[in-house]
Amino acid sequence: MPEHDWAGRWREGKIGFHEGKPNPFLERHVGVLGSKRRVLVPLCGKAEDLAFLAAQGHRVVGVEYVEQAAIAFFEEHGVKPSRAAGARFPTYSAGDVTIVVGDFYAVTRADVGEVDAFYDRAALIAVEPESRDRYVAAVRALVPPGSPGLLVTFDYPPGVEGPPHSVPQPEVRRLYGKDTLEVLSEAPGFNPRVAAAVGGGTDRAYRIVLKAST
Ligand SMILES: C[S@@+](CC[C@H](N)C(=O)[O-])C[C@H]1O[C@@H](n2cnc3c(N)ncnc32)[C@H](O)[C@@H]1O
């Protein structure tokens, strides 16, 4: 179960995290994911990034706890998704985008299928700080070693309650330091509402290549 009342936020339309267009760092760095991959998007919401990744030739599988968000994604793209019969979690697909509606910590490879890349924007930063190791372990359980990832985080001065939570560089290095990890870009926070709330902040994009855990 997510620690935060995400269903309530979706119900009440408090989704200031939703960008409504592809993330600028994704547009700039999508190449690090390679070509024609099957990309896992944890905590995907109804992000436009799902459609952008599919338009680049990838197949995409998002995992989202709130069914309303998954349904909204397809509705807003004017498509009627099919619903997988016999799946353990409601699983909606249209074109190259699938969304599994379930708790990210509960889904398995059997639920999401084989993936060979991952994209995280506003997923790690949405996780409670004490759950970050668990979150990264869940990513590793679904994404095989050798797979590329693109991680977009947000880092801001202390003293503000999240989510989003500030995820400074040393914390990303602690979580993914044994993997190949490279900062690709950084820029002042893209989301003006969030940036105003936390008094600035830095968006940062990282390339990751997962190594086998030892
Ligand atoms: C900050 S939003 C980011 C959504 C999306 N990545 C984006 O860029 O717009 C975090 C999303 O994760 C979902 N979520 C939170 N905890 C989850 C969990 N344990 N499993 C699956 N989804 C979760 C929430 O419902 C919410 O839609």
Interval between CA 128 and ligand 1 midpoint (Å)? 12
Q: Report residue 131 as tokens.
A: 């759950």
Domain segments of the chain: what residues?
Answer: 6-209
How do 148-155 and 59-64 pair as beta strands? unpaired
Mutation probe of ligand 1 site: the residue of 1, 3, 6 with most atoms within 8 A of C-beta: 6
CA geometry: angle 198, 191, 119, nearest 5 deg: 110
Using a 6 Å CB cutoff, which residues line ligand 1? 2, 6, 17-18, 43-45, 47, 63-66, 69, 103-105, 121-123, 126, 163
**Euclidean distance between CA atoms 171 and 148, whole angstroms:** 19
Interval between CA 115 and ligand 1 midpoint (Å)? 19
pTM exceeding 0.85: yes
Per-residue pLDDT of the chain (214 residues; tens, 9 = 90+): 677 899 999 999 999 899 999 999 999 999 999 999 999 999 999 999 999 999 999 999 999 999 999 999 999 999 999 999 999 999 999 999 999 999 999 999 999 999 999 999 999 999 999 999 999 999 999 999 999 999 999 998 777 777 789 999 999 999 998 999 999 999 988 777 777 777 788 999 999 999 987 5
- CATH code assigned to 6-209: 3.40.50.150
The predicted pLDDT at position 212 comes to 83
